[in-house]
Amino acid sequence: MKILLVQPYYRPDYHNQYLWLNEPLALEYVAAGIPAPHSVTMLDMRFDPDLEGWLARERPDVVATTGYTIDAPAMHDILARVKRWRREVVTVVGGHHATVLPDDFRDGTTDYVVLGEGVHTFAELLEALDSGTDPGAIPGLAIPAGEAVRLTAERAYGELDSLPFPARALNQRWRSRYFSAYLKPLASLRTSIGCPSRCSFCALWRMTGGRYLRRDPERIVEELATLDANQRVFLVDDESLADAKRMEHLGHLILEAGIHKRYFMYGRAKTIEAHPKLMALWKQVGLDMILIGMESFRDADLADMNKRTTAATNEAAVRICNEAGIRVNGQFIVNPNYAAADFRALARYVKRIGVSHPTYSVLTPLPGTDLFDQERDHLTTTDYHLFDLLHATIPTRLPLKRFYRELSKLYFTTPSLLQTWRNLQAWPAGERWKTVRTVASLFWGVRNFARDHQQTTGAIRLPPRLAAPPPLGEIHLRPVA
């Protein structure tokens, strides 16, 4: 059979695509697991929107796509267009959103939903389709059938070292265009999955049933050696530093192997505070920037999020990274309940503790999280386009126009002008002015986000041709714990 894997496109006004754009690692893993003699091609619609052209050229038997909640409208659109092109094509969807909300794909355009880690499930599905056997015997599937979704047996997450290396060659034409800020070209690499934390706004720990799964450091070094020499590396783990001893071992192995790259990873403030020498080691390895989910400047807010850390711990983590020469992308969550004074207090805190690259998102009850369970009756919209972590999806204390103006100000008042100038030195000289204009334009636009909300609470506002998800009352979350 011929298989076409499709990375969904972003809508034109999706901010994050101008700040980072990562390779389709999930699809590369799935592609690597496809057994012979099946053939596979990959389309990244963020660069090439001509889905119908690819369908005509490749004439696939199976088309599969994946994504998060923000990608759900595009995934519905892609599958619908495939079925319009040729009804017999088998359509498959996977990824985070499909795993927690398989009922969203009861619109007649989806034949199979792959739940959780999809490499083995998708490979077994292809074999069943090719041999004519019943896919219902394959664990880890949801099979839409009219108004119902049939769930097969659950498939537990297996050992990560049993997975093949991602099939990166399939998107060779676009590899130079993946980036995060000034880190370009950027390769994505996974060393673990899951998280030992239990934050209420995050579904990642629930996806693995609370397990934290790790790859063997030797295998990671082996994969690093396959990357292009000029590529920077993004460790896409949910929490790279959770197993400090393993990361220390990995750091030494990379140094011994003579691999010289620049790295970007996620790290928890509490781990950094407890292991300052580990950060010094990883600076030697090549760690350029670390994203720390600081979330708030108040201990009470951190406790409400079940963050299990404190504002003082955040400050200590920033200090340790600054002393090691590692840039800090400090991620803060703006609560829709903020008053104007809270925005000011957050800005003062960010400046005081010296976060070099602060970023701000709006507290969003994403499907699959504890927060969604708590707030689902208070959602002001079920338009998945607004679940981009920059729009408010639950009621705001301030009027929407004022709320977004205050959010926009955060980006223009932090960091300081001197720190901003220092940050720009990381970009090639010829890209600095363009970067300033792009970022300023993006976050000036946040001031006008209120117009993206419809007056009718809960209305679904999707562009033409995009299939709407089921009304909120019909959504049934698949248990993931």
CA 374 to chain centroid, in Å, comes to 22
Q: How far is CA 353 from CA 271, 300, 371, in A?
A: 18, 19, 28
pLDDT in tens, 384-430: 999 999 999 999 999 999 999 999 999 999 999 999 999 999 999 99
Local structure of 324: helix, strand or coil = helix
CA 327 to chain centroid, in Å, comes to 21
- Which pair of structure tokens corresponds to residue 78? 């892609």
146 or 192, which is more confident: 192
Task: Report the share of the chain in percent with pLDDT over 90.
Answer: 85
Determine the Cα–Cα distance for residues 58 and 60; give it in Å rounded to an integer. Answer: 6
- Which pair of structure tokens corresponds to residue 223? 């994969």
Among 142, 74, 70, smallest CA distance to 102 is for 142
Q: Mean pLDDT over residues 447-464, rounded?
A: 59
pTM score: 0.92
- Which pair of structure tokens corresponds to residue 316? 């200590």
User: Which region, left, alpha or beta, applies to residue 95 given φ > 0 means left and ψ of -120 to 50 means alpha?
Assistant: left
Residue pair 82/52 in contact by the 8 Å Cβ criterion: no
Given a cut of 60, whether residue 192 has pLDDT beyond it is yes
Q: How confident is the model at residue 208 (pLDDT cuts 50, 70, 90)?
A: confident
**Which residues share a beta bridge with 39?**
2
Determine the Cα–Cα distance for residues 210 and 156; give it in Å rounded to an integer. Answer: 12
Determine the Cα–Cα distance for residues 371 and 373; give it in Å rounded to an integer. Answer: 5
Domains (range + CATH), the chain: 2-151 (3.40.50.280), 173-452 (3.20.20.70)
Residue pair 79/68 in contact by the 8 Å Cβ criterion: no
Determine the Cα–Cα distance for residues 60 and 282; give it in Å rounded to an integer. Answer: 44
CB count in 10 Å sphere of residue 18: 13
CA 305 to chain centroid, in Å, comes to 19
Burial class of residue 473, CB neighbours in 10 A (0-12, 13-18, 19+) = exposed
pLDDT in tens, 180-191: 999 999 999 999
pLDDT in tens, 155-179: 988 889 999 999 999 999 999 999 9
Determine the Cα–Cα distance for residues 394 and 401; give it in Å rounded to an integer. Answer: 14
Residue pair 203/96 in contact by the 8 Å Cβ criterion: yes
CB count in 10 Å sphere of residue 256: 9
